[in-house]
Structure 1
Amino acid sequence: MSVAEVPWNRLERPQSGMLNTLSVGEEGVNRWFWIKTKSGEYGLAMRVSKKDENSIEGADLSSTKRLKGLKVGDKGSVYIGVVIGESELSTVFHRLCLDLIDSCSKLREPNETHAILRRRVRSWQRLFESGVNRLSLQQCLGLVSELSFLRDHWLLRQNGNGIHGWLGPLGRSQDFLSENESLAVEVKAYSPDDRTIKISSIQQLESTQDLYLACYPCTLSTEMKGTSLPEIIDTVRDKLSEKQEPFLDELLLAYGYVEEPYYQSMSFVVGEPTFYRVHSKFPRITPSTVSAAITKAQYVIDLEQISVFRCEPGSF
């Protein structure tokens, strides 16, 4: 969709009042509206009655330089939403808005919808403030591997915490954590032609939980014989409940992923993972094994030389 085709171009600035609105879908079916303000900012808002407003906790949304929370009363209703002023971001912003609407499509309680809106806006703000860029190939390989582990192993754990245990996108030291099980898992992608993995920090292989490595052979297919990133995401989504799906979208945003045709053009081949138990004898650099003067380090582990630490997925 080009800038000329986004819905806000059909809205004029309001001559009176605070907003001009354009319903998203049929009136009465949903509460979403495309909006434009007197200052020319544009965005998305949910409409709630005065009665429903009182039931919503913390109705105000946060604001940053590029993305502003908005709350406006008009003709007996209240519009709660988010606006942006930079036209070059309009197509990306429109895709994000459509994802949000879809995430809330089955919800009927304003409180539930507003909770998702607040979380999503915070994710958008982090994304826009850091810059909306496509993921690098290495980032794509890492995301493909983490999603594969999430789908094939983590979500199947009855005592785990499901989608909420995927913490890699949030910058935690390990990609997956279940405090209920005292379990942490770090996921790595590696090239079958170069069986090494990169450890990006001295914290990554140290945990108070039982720690495991899940290493996935993963490559970009030059013949489009594998699976695209959007297709892998869809297979994960199929395993989630309706209430869990919005959390997947928010974690993908935190990772820096915004769906676009570019990702359909990339195909990945993912092999079966190898698992390793990380304990006191495992070769690693950690805060407890190096001088306190060393605060950052990256290093590479040769998978061929740690075969003695291999284990089966059923062992954890």
Structure 2
Amino acid sequence: MNPWDGIPAPQNKQDVNSILFSDVEFPDGVSIEWIKLYDSSVGISVFFNEYRGDLITLPSFKVLDVGFRRHARKNKTCVQIVLRDDDMHELFFRLCLDLADSIAGGAQSNVLHRIVDRLEEWKRLLSVAQKKLSKRQQKGLIGELAFLKEILLVEMGPLAAAKIWTGPTGSSRDFTKGLTFFEVKSNRGAQERSVIISSENQLTTSAEEELFLCVIGINEDPMNGLSLDSIVEDVRDAFVQDPQALAYLNNLLTLAGYSDLFDYSDTKWVKESFRYYYVDVGFPKIVPSSIPVEISEVSYRLDLSHLDEYELDEAAIRARIDAKHV
């Protein structure tokens, strides 16, 4: 849906053409309009009873113009938000819907504060998630979320499980529990018996550390699969009883590049079974000490069909996860 398609651009620079926001019931005295400017820029205007409170500074954005003014003709206060990046129409539309829902859920007296709160949240999200995750990135995130929800959450509880998901924070390990690490890789399951190791450091451990490799088969399936949005919502539901853990999870999702402001419903995924491997001293891998100092940032394909002696069952992995040691 693009509500701006039916709005012509005005002929004069000072004019704004608009249509009313429909299908949402706002508090008395509040209205929202979809707007189009002279240069065909699109946006929304939020009108509410004249504001006479303390001066409020609206958040600033690189891709949005946000203005606050008194609309003399309507005897209203107006906040106008205009998109300045044509590549972000889909994202901006979702922002507008989110803002409208927030305003609809409150009273007329606090409309401006609700607008500021939501804009601040948008700004935080946009600072991390500037573009939609690629399919490869979606698969990687789905794999980590599956391990988090189906293994760690069950064994450790929500807050402890969320705290050891260290990949989104910039750590070289996906999950860190003391000196025990879990690296999660996604492939096409039975259709693919290999994974890509992205650097010479990824499977490197010291004598005191232990590392486990978890491989999850994930494939596109438009008929039977779930979108990334649905998968994230399912994980959030599993954390909802612990508000602190849910907040921690949501922050990690943002750091991982996921934003509710993007729509991932066009791609559906199905998950196959997990496979686990113990990366001990003899496990085949490339490590920094095995390559010349002039060579770095090495990636390679690891063939899983020759790693039966290192494979573990799920019970062995669960036995290594103990919340009291976190």
Give the TM-score band, short-chain normalised. 0.5 to 0.7
State the number of aligned residues.
291
Letter in 1 for 2:27: G
User: Offset at 1:72?
Assistant: 1.4
Give CA deviations for 1:280-312 in whole Å, capped at 9, x if unaligned. Answer: 554332345533311221112233426436341
Structure number, greater radius of gyration: 2
1:70 equivalent to 2:88? Answer no
Measure the CA separation in 1 of the matches of 2:80 and 2:163: 28
Once the two structures are overlaid, the 10-residue window that deviates more, 143-152 or 292-301, is 143-152
Measure the CA separation in 1 of the matches of 2:91 and 2:173: 30
User: Offset at 1:257?
Assistant: 9.7
Task: State the partner residue of 1:262.
Answer: 266
Task: State the partner residue of 1:94.
Answer: 93
User: Offset at 1:199?
Assistant: 0.5
Letter in 2 for 1:70: D
Letter in 2 for 1:120: L
Measure the CA separation in 2 of the matches of 1:99 and 1:254: 16
Task: State the partner residue of 2:213.
Answer: 213
1:32–1:47: 8 Å Cα contact kept in structure 2?
A: yes
Letter in 2 for 1:151: K
What TM-score do you get using the length of structure 2 for normalisation?
A: 0.64
1:199 equivalent to 2:201? Answer no
Give CA deviations for 1:229-265 in whole Å, capped at 9, x if unaligned. Answer: 44433322322447648647746754999425531xx
Measure the CA separation in 1 of the matches of 2:152 and 2:126: 27
After superposition, where does 1:229-268 map in structure 2 within 5 Å?
229-241=228-240, 244=247, 247=251, 250=254, 253-254=257-258, 258-263=262-267, 266-268=268-270
Give CA deviations for 1:96-135 in whole Å, capped at 9, x if unaligned. Answer: 64467669987986465343211222245x21xxxx6x84
Task: State the partner residue of 1:173.
Answer: 172
Letter in 2 for 1:147: L
Task: State the partner residue of 1:189.
Answer: 186
User: Offset at 1:196?
Assistant: 1.9
Letter in 1 for 2:284: P
Task: State the partner residue of 2:41.
Answer: 41
| Residue segments in structure 1 that go unaligned for 5+ positions in a row | none
1:135–1:256: 8 Å Cα contact kept in structure 2?
A: no
- CA 1:172–1:225: 2 relative to 1, 3 Å: same
- CA 1:166–1:102: 2 relative to 1, 3 Å: farther
Letter in 1 for 2:235: V
After superposition, where does 1:51-200 map in structure 2 within 5 Å?
51=53, 54=56, 59-63=58-62, 68-75=63-70, 77=77, 79=79, 81=81, 83-86=83-86, 89-91=88-90, 93-95=92-94, 97-98=96-97, 110=114, 112-123=117-128, 126-127=130-131, 135-136=134-135, 138-156=136-154, 157-158=156-157, 160=160, 162=162, 165=165, 167-168=167-168, 173-177=172-176, 181=178, 184-190=181-187, 191-200=189-198
Once the two structures are overlaid, the 10-residue window that deviates more, 193-202 or 5-14, is 5-14
| Residue segments in structure 2 that go unaligned for 5+ positions in a row | 71-75, 322-326
The secondary structure found in structure 2 opposite 1:121 is helix
- CA 1:10–1:213: 2 relative to 1, 3 Å: same
Measure the CA separation in 1 of the matches of 2:7 and 2:99: 21
Give CA deviations for 1:13-52 in whole Å, capped at 9, x if unaligned. Answer: 5875899795573333899764545644223578896757
Letter in 2 for 1:189: S
Measure the CA separation in 1 of the matches of 2:16 and 2:217: 55
Letter in 2 for 1:259: D
Task: State the partner residue of 1:294.
Answer: 295
**Percent identity between the aligned chains?**
22
Measure the CA separation in 2 of the matches of 1:183 and 1:104: 46
2:227–2:265: 8 Å Cα contact kept in structure 1?
A: no
The secondary structure found in structure 1 opposite 2:190 is coil
Measure the CA separation in 2 of the matches of 1:118 and 1:227: 28
Task: State the partner residue of 2:317.
Answer: 312
- CA 1:275–1:305: 2 relative to 1, 3 Å: closer
